[in-house]
C-alpha cells in the first residue's frame, strides 16, 4: 500500500478529530463502533459531520472496516497511525516535510525528513508485527493469549523503548544520534551522515576500530546495558576530518580522517541483569568478531571480552545505570515482557528464513508469505510507504494545510 502524505494537506480539523477518536477507541475496541467514534470526536456538527469525515478517512485508507464484522465500526490502519504521528510531529514543529525512504528494516521504515529550517532529520517508523508471528510457539501463544499481539501496541512499545534509551545514551555522551521527538510508533532523531559498517569495504586500522567497538560494548555494560543487536547494520561509521596539526612534519595538506562509530537501533536492548544477559552479551561480541574476521580479515588475539568480567564493572567509577531508564519513563514490566516476546519471535523467524542482517533488499519477502487466517498480523498490517511526490517539489512544502 502506498500512502501519499499529500493527502494530509486536505484533511480538515474535523477529519483529524475523527481520526484521533478512532485511535482513542482502539484502546478498548479492536473495531471501534461508529457511535463511539461519534461520541469521542465531539464534533460540533454532530453525526453527519462525523460520517463525512469517516468517509474521507476511509477513502484515504486511514481507517478501515473489517469484512463480516458483527457491528458497524472502524479500525485504525497503519496509514492512519502514521498520519496521526506525523500530524503530531508537524504540529510540534519537529517535522515540516517528509522526503525519501532510506532504509527498510524488518521492523521499521527509515525516512529522511526535514524541519522548517530545512535541516534533515531521520524519522524511524516502527513496524513491529509486519512479519507475521508464525514460529516460536511459546512467544506467539503468549502474545495471542494476552491480546497484546497487535502491531499497533507492539510498534508503540518499540518506539517508546527506543526513544527512552536513545535519550539516556545521548545524555550520557554515547555516540548515538541526537533524539528529537517521539510520537506513537515513531521517533525523530538526528541524521547521521555515515554509512553502516556493512557498506565499508576496508578501513585503515581494523584493530583500532575493533578495539573501539569492543570499548563501546564494555561501556554499555558499565551502564548496565547490552545492545542486543550489535551488528554491522547498527553501527554507522562516520568520517570526521580534522585538519593536520601545524607541528606535523609531513607537508601534505590532507586532513586526518578519524572514523567514529555511531550506534543505532535500540528496541531490543537488555539489562545486564536480564536472565539471558550472558547469551546476549556473547552474541553481540561474536557478531562483531565474525564481521571483522570476514570483512577485514582481522582476528583479535584476545579471546574476550567475557560477560563475567563485564558484569563486575556494572556501575563502576560512578557509571549511572541506564537499564533503569526505561521503567523510569513509565514502561511497565508487562510492556517490557510483551515487547520482548515480539522481538524474540521476529528474531527467530528471521533466523528461520536465514536472514542474519538487519535489512531486506526489497519488500518481496513480505508479499511471498502465505496468507494464514490465524496469523496475528493480518492484511491490514501491510507495510505502508510514505511517499512525498518529488516531481511537484512537495518535499519543500509542508505536510499540513491550514488545519494544524
Ligand atoms: P531496524 O530496527 O529496522 O534495523 P535501524 O534503526 O537499524 O532499523 O535503521 C535501519 C537502517 O537505516 C540503518 O541500518 C541505517 O542504514 C539507517 N539509519 C537508521 N537511523 C539512522 C540515522 N539516525 N542516521 C542515518 N541513517 C540511519
Ligand atoms: Mg537495525
Averaged pLDDT, 64-68:
81
Is the confidence at residue 127, as pLDDT, over 70?
yes
Q: Which residues have CB under 8 Å from 185's CB, separation 6+?
A: 81, 85, 125, 126, 127, 152, 155, 156, 158, 159
For residue 228, CA distances in Å to 89, 225, 268, 272, 277 come to 29, 9, 6, 11, 9
Whole-number pLDDT of residue 351: 81
In the reported structure, the alpha carbon of residue 267 is separated from the centroid of ligand 1 by a whole-number distance in angstroms of 12
Distance between Cα 103 and ligand 1 center (Å): 6
User: How much is the pLDDT for 348?
Assistant: 81
Task: From 60, 76, 92, give the residue that closes a domain.
Answer: 76
Domain assignment present for 166: no
Which residue owns the Cα nearest ligand 1 atom 25?
Answer: 192
pLDDT at position 329: 83
Mutate to test the pocket of ligand 1, among 358, 360, 383 (most ligand atoms within 8 A of CB): 358
Question: What CATH number did the domain enclosing 72 receive?
Answer: 1.10.10.10
Task: Report the separation in Å between the CA atom of 111 and the middle of ligand 2, taken as the mean of its atom positions.
Answer: 14
Task: State yes or no: pLDDT of 377 exceeds 80.
Answer: no
Which atom belonging to ligand 1 lies closest to the Cα atom of 106?
A: 3
Mean pLDDT calculated for residue range 187-213 = 96
CA distance 57 to 37: 13
Domain assignment of residue 191, yes or no: no
The ligand that comes nearest to the alpha carbon of residue 126 is 1
Residue 398 domain flag: no
Residue 92 has pLDDT above 90, yes or no: yes
Tell me the C-alpha distance between 164 and 234, whole Å.
17
Whether 278 maps to a domain, the answer reads yes
**Between 58 and 381, the higher pLDDT residue:** 58
Q: Which ligand does the CA of 127 lie closest to? A: 1
> Are the C-beta atoms of residues 7 and 388 closer than 8 Å to each other?
no
Q: For residue 37, with 0-12 CB atoms within 10 Å meaning exposed, 13-18 middle and 19 or more buried, which class applies?
A: buried
- Check whether the bond before 198 is cis (ω within 30° of 0): no
Residue 307 lies in a domain: yes
The answer to whether 339 touches 331, Cβ cutoff 8 Å, is no
Ligand nearest to the CA of 103: 1
Ligand 1 is surrounded, with C-beta below 6 A, by 102-103, 105-108, 110, 122, 124, 177, 189, 191-192, 196, 233-234, 236, 264-265, 358
pLDDT at 2: 43
Domain containing 248 equals: 197-331
* pLDDT at residue 382 tops 80: no
CA-closest residue to ligand 1 atom 12? 103
Q: Ligand 1: distance of its center to the CA of 123 in Å?
A: 10
Structural domain ending residue among the three candidates 76, 111, 133 = 76
- Report how far ligand 2's centroid is from the alpha carbon of 250 (Å): 41
In a domain, 384, yes or no: no
DSSP string, 191-225: PP-S-BGGG----S-HHHHHHHHHHHHHHHHHTTE
Q: What is the pLDDT of residue 249?
A: 59
Residue among 123, 264, 346 to mutate when testing ligand 1 (max atoms within 8 A of CB): 264
CA distances from 326 to 126, 159, 323 (A): 17, 12, 7
Closest CA to 106 of 334, 388, 342: 342
- Per-residue model confidence (pLDDT) at position 131: 54
- In terms of Cβ atoms closer than 10 Å to its own Cβ (0-12, 13-18, 19+), residue 137 is exposed
Q: Tell me what percent of the residues of the chain surpass a pLDDT of 90.
A: 59
CATH number of the domain enclosing 314: 1.10.510.10
> In terms of pLDDT, which residue wins out, 378 or 78?
78
Domain boundary pick from 42, 59, 76: 76
**Catalytic residue numbers?**
229
Does some domain include residue 281?
yes
**Nearest residue CA, atom 6 of ligand 1?**
265
| Domains: count for the chain | 2
Shortest-distance atom of ligand 1 to CA 358: 4
**Domain presence at residue 269:** yes
Is the confidence at residue 251, as pLDDT, over 70?
A: no
Residue 243 has pLDDT above 50, yes or no: yes
Q: Are 236 and 264 in contact (CB under 8 A)?
A: yes
Q: Distance (Å, rounded) from C-alpha 81 to C-alpha 146?
A: 22
* Residue 255 CB-half CA count within 13 A: 8
Return the residue whose CA atom lies nearest to atom 26 of ligand 1.
Answer: 192
In the predicted structure, residue 404 carries a pLDDT above the cut 50: no
Closest ligand 1 atom, CA of 233? 14
Amino acid at each position: 500500500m502506498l500512502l501519499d502524505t499529500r493527502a494530509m494537506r486536505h484533511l480538515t480539523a474535523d477529519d483529524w478529530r475523527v481520526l484521533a477518536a478512532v485511535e482513542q477507541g482502539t484502546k478498548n475496541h479492536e473495531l471501534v463502533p461508529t457511535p463511539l467514534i461519534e461520541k469521542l470526536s465531539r464534533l460540533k456538527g454532530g453525526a453527519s459531520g462525523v460520517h463525512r469525515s469517516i468517509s474521507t478517512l476511509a477513502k484515504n485508507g486511514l481507517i478501515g472496516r473489517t469484512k463480516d464484522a458483527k457491528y458497524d465500526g472502524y479500525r485504525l490502519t497503519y496509514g492512519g497511525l502514521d498520519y496521526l504521528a506525523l500530524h503530531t510531529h508537524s504540529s510540534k514543529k519537529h517535522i515540516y516535510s517528509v522526503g525519501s525512504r532510506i532504509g527498510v528494516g524488518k521492523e521499521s521504515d527509515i525516512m529522511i525528513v526535514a524541519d522548517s529550517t530545512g535541516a534533515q532529520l531521520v524519522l524511524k517508523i516502527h513496524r513491529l508485527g509486519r512479519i507475521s508471528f508464525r514460529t516460536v510457539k511459546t512467544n506467539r501463544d503468549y502474545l495471542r493469549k494476552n491480546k497484546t499481539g497487535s502491531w499497533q501496541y507492539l510498534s508503540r512499545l518499540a518506539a517508546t523503548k527506543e526513544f527512552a534509551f536513545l535519550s539516556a545514551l545521548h545524555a550520557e555522551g554515547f555516540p548515538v544520534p541526537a533524539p528529537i521527538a517521539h510520537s506513537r510508533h515513531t521517533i525523530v532523531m538526528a541524521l547521521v551522515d555515515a554509512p553502516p559498517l556493512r557498506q565499508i569495504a576496508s578501513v585503515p586500522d581494523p584493530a583500532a576500530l575493533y578495539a573501539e567497538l569492543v570499548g563501546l560494548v564494555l561501556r554499555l555494560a558499565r551502564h548496565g546495558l547490552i545492545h542486543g543487536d550489535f551488528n554491522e547494520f547498527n553501527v554507522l561509521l562516520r568520517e570526521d576530518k580534522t585538519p593536520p596539526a601545524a607541528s606535523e612534519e609531513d607537508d601534505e595538506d590532507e586532513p586526518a580522517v578519524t572514523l567514529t562509530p555511531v550506534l543505532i537501533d535500540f528496541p531490543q536492548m537488555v539489562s545486564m541483569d536480564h536472565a539471558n544477559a550472558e547469551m546476549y552479551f556473547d552474541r553481540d561480541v561474536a557478531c562483531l568478531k565474525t564481521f571483522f574476521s570476514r570483512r577485514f580479515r582481522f582476528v583479535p588475539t584476545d579471546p574476550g571480552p567475557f560477560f563475567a568480567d563485564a558484569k563486575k564493572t556494572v556501575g563502576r567509577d560512578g557509571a549511572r545505570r541506564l537499564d533503569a531508564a526505561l521503567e523510569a519513563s513509565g514502561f511497565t514490566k508487562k510492556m517490557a515482557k510483551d515487547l520482548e516476546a515480539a522481538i524474540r519471535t521476529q528474531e527467530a523467524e528471521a533466523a528461520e528464513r536465514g536472514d542474519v542482517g538487519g535489512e531486506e533488499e526489497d519488500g518481496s519477502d513480505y508479499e511471498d508469505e502465505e496468507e494464514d487466517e490465524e496469523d496475528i498480523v493480518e492484511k491490514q498490517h501491510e507495510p505502508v510507504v510514505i511517499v512525498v511526490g518529488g516531481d511537484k517539489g512537495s518535499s519543500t512544502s509542508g505536510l499540513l494545510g491550514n488545519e494544524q
